[in-house]
Amino acid sequence: MRVGELVCLQWDDIDFDKQTIRIIKTYYNPKNNPVEFNLNTPKTVASARTIVVEEDVIEALKELKATQEKVKERLGHTHTSLLAELEVPLEDIMERLGHTDDETTRLVYRHLTKEMKKKAVSSFYLPLLIFTNVAMGSGISKFTLVNPYSFFFYLVRHSVVIFISFNKAL
């Protein structure tokens, strides 16, 4: 198989059951230009052919195809994640991804919104941990998770102490 034929292969050209590869296209570079290639049918009738390949080649191709499908799925998930984090409406995400059935998008979107909620809670608790430890005079080396409601009441009762302690820490 020539390099020009190899780079033109698509998954439809491979018959995994019969262990064959169909060669029906080739890249041709008549001027030996490193950036200009022509996509053609093979030059002769004999060049358009079906070849039988070893079983280990077919197995390697199956693994490659499975990996490509995983990568494609992960890229779609990442794309959806980034759009969801930017708070793009679900309908716009569906249109961008070409989904006609919203269930596929909703599954990813639902998962992401749960993750975004967890992230929001984490970003809410971190300042509480720091403020609580500064206010209690224990420094920020020892963190204690606090209930936000009890922390709020603590703030109301000890607002002056917290303000002074926090300013000293800065």
pLDDT for res 166: 45
| Closest to 51 measured CA to CA, from 22, 9, 18 | 22
Average pLDDT of the residues of the chain: 74
Residue 25 has pLDDT above 50, yes or no: yes
Which residue matches tokens 């494609």? Answer: 72
Which pairing describes strands 14-15 and 49-52: parallel, antiparallel, or unpaired?
unpaired
| Closest to 131 measured CA to CA, from 122, 139, 119 | 139
Q: Report the alpha-carbon distance of residue 149 to residue 153 in Å, rounded.
A: 6
Enter the pTM of the model. Answer: 0.53
pLDDT band at 64 (very low <50, low <70, confident <90, very high): very high
Q: What are phi and psi of 6, to 5 degrees?
A: -65, -45
pLDDT digit string (tens) for 134-167? 445 544 444 444 445 455 555 555 554 444 444 4
Burial of 5 (0-12, 13-18, 19+ CB in 10 A): buried
pLDDT band at 106 (very low <50, low <70, confident <90, very high): confident
Average pLDDT over residues 45-58: 90
Bridge partner list, 49: 23
